[in-house]
Amino acid sequence: MLDADHWFTEFCEEAGSAFSLRIRGRLHEERTPYQHIAIYETTDFGHLMVIDGFVMLSSRDNFLYHEMLTHPVLFTHPHPRRVCIVGGGDCGTLREVLRHPGVESVVLVEIDERVTRLAERYFPELCEANGDPRAEFRFEDGIRWMQAAPPGRLDVIIVDSTDPFGPGEGLFTASFYADCARALGPDGLLVQQSESPLLHQDIIRGMFRALGEGGFRACAPLFFPQPVYPGGWWSAILAGKQAIPGFRVDDAAARPFPTKYYNPDTHRGALAVPGFFAEALADLNSGLGQG
C-alpha cells in the first residue's frame, strides 16, 4: 500500500507486523492475466518490484536472495550441468546460475512474461546474462512444464517462487515435488524459497511433509538475511532424492566469479540450525520419504 506521505508498506497480518520503504514515485503499474505488478523508485533501496501488494525485490538487497538460492545448491551437487528455474522471472537467479562455467543449460520457466520484460527495463543488471546461449526461456505454467519434463533429465531444480498463494500455490504441493523428483537424475537436488523461519514455520512444516510425500529423502534448511521480506530473515529448503552431499568447499572458495554475500563461511552459516528450530527439524526429517 502506498500512502499519502509516499511510504510503501507491506503488511504481514499473520505476524502483526509491517515493513515500509520511502518512495520517490511510481514508475510502472499494470495488471497482467496473472497478477498485479508495480514498480517504484525508492529513496534508499533503488527500484522496488511489488506483486499483488507483496515486495518481490529491491535493487539494494536482492543479491542476498539470489546468491543464497543459487550457489549453495550448485556447490552441493557434484556435477550440476542441467538446471531448471521455476519462476524467477526477474532473472536474478538465472544470472547467478550462469556464473557457473560448468553449467551447460538452464531453462527458466516463468508463467508471467511481463515480470521478465519489466525486469529487463527496470532491473537491467539482473538480466545481463539473458542472452547467454545456455539459457532458454519458457513463458508457461511451471507445474505443467514439470509434469511433461523427461525423466532424469535435470541435475538441479531451483524453485524461485512467490508466496504459496495465487500463481505460486501449486508449487508447494506433493504432486509438484513428485514431478520434480521424477525429472531429476539420481543425484538430483531441489532448492525452494521457504519464507520466514520465524514467522512462517507452518509453511516450512508443510513443505517438508510434501517433499517427503513427493519422494525426497533428505532436506536441509538454509537461513539468510533478507531485509525487505517479512521479519528480515528468510529461508530456503535444499532437498535431495538421496542424502544431501557435503558442499564442495574448495570449489566454492575458488569460484571464478564475484559474489557480494556468498562465500564458504556464509554457506556453512546458512546451514546452522537455530536452537528453537532444531527439535522441529529432527521431527520433520524423520518423516521424509515415508509418503
Q: 5 an active-site residue?
A: no
* CB-side neighbour CA atoms (13 Å) of 193: 29
- The predicted structure's pLDDT at residue 283: 66
- The predicted structure's pLDDT at residue 269: 96
Q: Which residues contact 61 (CB under 8 A, 6 or more apart)?
A: 45, 226, 227, 228
Do 7-58 and 62-286 show the same overall fold? no
Closest alpha carbon to 107 in 98, 118, 119, 117: 98
State the architecture of 7-58 in CATH terms: Roll (2.30)
Residue extents of the structural domains in the chain: 7-58, 62-286
Closest alpha carbon to 80 in 188, 193, 218: 188
Report residue 291's pLDDT band, with 50, 70 and 90 as the boundaries: very low
Q: What percent of the chain has pLDDT over 70?
A: 94
* Contact between residue 289 and residue 216 where contact means Cβ atoms under 8 Å apart: yes
Q: How far apart are CA 178 and CA 149, in angstroms?
A: 12
The catalytic position among 90, 155, 160, 163 is: 160
62-286 CATH choice from 3.40.50.150, 3.40.50.720, 3.40.50.11720, 3.40.50.300: 3.40.50.150
Q: What value does the mean pLDDT of the chain take? A: 93
pLDDT exceeds 50 at position 287: yes
Report residue 168's pLDDT band, with 50, 70 and 90 as the boundaries: confident
Q: What is the pTM of this model?
A: 0.95
Model pLDDT for residues 13-53, shown as the tens digit of each residue: 988 999 999 999 999 999 999 999 999 999 999 999 999 99
User: Quick one: average pLDDT of 154-182?
Assistant: 90
Model pLDDT for residues 226-284, shown as the tens digit of each residue: 999 999 999 999 999 998 999 999 999 999 999 999 999 999 999 998 887 776 676 66
- The predicted structure's pLDDT at residue 178: 97
